Amino acid sequence: MLACNPMNPLLWSSKSMRKLESALRDKGHIVSDTTLAVLLKMQGYPVSKSLYITADSGGSNGYRVRLWKVKLQELSNATGLDLVVSHFPAGTSKWNKIEHKLFSFISKNWRGKPLLSLAVIINLIGATTTKTGLTVECVADHGTYKKGISVSDEALAAVNIVPDEFHGEWNYTIKPIPKSLNL
């Protein structure tokens, strides 16, 4: 039976604790999401070796953006994680699970309310919740950021990027650079 195959990563490893709990309860096991988390931690999960990132094709995290890849390399080096990146094809951001699970509730929460100030927007976003327990934290970022940062060919070439076999321009892994090589 396919649903019971623990080797099928799409059915098990991509589930949240609550969904794992529900799936196990459906199979007759008595377990809570917190107990499940403790049991998985005792077995060496979820000590991550990689982080999966989905991104749109355009904007500051587009697949052609050099600075995006250089900054991901910095994150990979700092965390020691392989960063597995998949960009949605152009025009398909509707497939982004975060947009469905988060942004739709934010939109519902501020529907019909005039967005008169940054404080109003922050309060409306921060007051967003769902029946399943999703809460949103929102704060103003008053940082100043440089615009038009140029990334040299050399800096881009230093990114330890491994293209995927399927559309390597959209799907790739950025691996940490060993500290002995990271200047």
d(CA 107, CA 74): 33
**Could you tell me if residue 64 is inside a domain?**
no
C-alpha–C-alpha distance, residues 10 and 173, integer Å: 19
Higher pLDDT, 103 or 6: 103
Model confidence at 100: pLDDT above 80: no
Q: What is the per-residue pLDDT for 8?
A: 46
Question: What is the separation, in whole angstroms, between the first and last Cα of the chain?
Answer: 51
CA distance 89 to 21: 33
Asked if the model's pLDDT at residue 163 lies above 90, the reply is yes
Q: What's the domain range around 18?
A: 2-42
Report whether pLDDT(174) > 80: yes
In a domain, 66, yes or no: no
Is 30 inside a domain boundary? yes
Q: Is residue 37 part of a domain?
A: yes
The answer to whether residue 92 is domain-embedded is no
Domain-located, residue 36: yes
Note the pLDDT tens digit of each residue in 130-158.
Answer: 887 778 888 999 999 888 899 999 999 99
- Total domains in the chain come to 1
Q: pLDDT > 70: what percent of the chain?
A: 85
